[in-house]
A and B are shown apart, each in its own frame.
Chain A
Amino acid sequence: AQTVTQSQPEMSVQEAETVTLSCTYDTSENNYYLFWYKQPPSRQMILVIRQEAYKQQNATENRFSVNFQKAAKSFSLKISDSQLGDTAMYFCAFMKRRGGAQKLVFGQGTRLTINP
């Protein structure tokens, strides 16, 4: 079974700073997807960024980037030039890559607060 661990329950940084959220996972699969979801106070689940395990290049979406270390089973999220609107709960998630949709396995979440 796959597990996802987020070891930082809460983080807090000043606006415009860079912050990195940690995520590790455990799997025997070789092909899979990794995701970061954002959940603001509205509680909507928003896909922030995704990574295909067979791609060595780290995914980037504007101010959001990941550091994917497949051998170490690590998938951290870096937010550059943080903004007040980045305040949210962030979840790391894993999905096996098989034929068709699969279960998303989530970590415990990290509550991120951006202070003015």
Chain B
Amino acid sequence: EAQVTQNPRYLITVTGKKLTVTCSQNMNHEYMSWYRQDPGLGLRQIYYSMNVEVTDKGDVPEGYKVSRKEKRNFPLILESPSPNQTSLYFCASSSNRDSLNGYTFGSGTRLTVV
């Protein structure tokens, strides 16, 4: 089944404790992206990657890091989480040849930073 697998689904952590949210897709998509969803703000792009070893900032990149060492994986790293990073996070992927289908999304990670 074509999918984006995102883990964990829920995560509670303390301020300053480094964490990684994993994302993997099995569709050979070139484009991958991370979004955060907050009430009243919709989904906002954090980082994106056009292909292996090519990453760039989105609209709200502060406090986040990403890497794209392999085509299928695109982890999101919070080096020193803070309470304002409490949010719902989505990983998504898309094919360069089929943009009309939009993105395939992961099932989301609910992160709480206390």
B-contact 0/1 string along A74-98, CB 8 Å cutoff:
0000000000000000010101010
Instruction: Tell yes or no: B108 within 8 A of A by CB.
Output: yes
Contact among B31, B41, B45, B94 for A108, CB-based, below 8 A: B41
| Among listed B11-19, B74-82, B96-104, interface-contacting one | B96-104
Q: In the complex the two chains form, is B99's CB within 8 Å of A109's CB? A: no
A interface size (C-beta, 8 A): 27
Counting chain B residues whose Cβ lies within 8 A of the other chain, the interface size class is 20 to 34
| Chain B residues engaging chain A, CB cutoff 8 angstroms | 29-31, 33, 35, 40-45, 48, 50, 58, 88, 90, 92, 94-96, 99-103, 105, 107-108
Q: A residues touching B (Cβ–Cβ < 8 Å)?
A: 4, 6, 9, 33, 35, 37, 42-45, 47, 50, 52, 91, 93, 95, 97, 99-104, 106-109
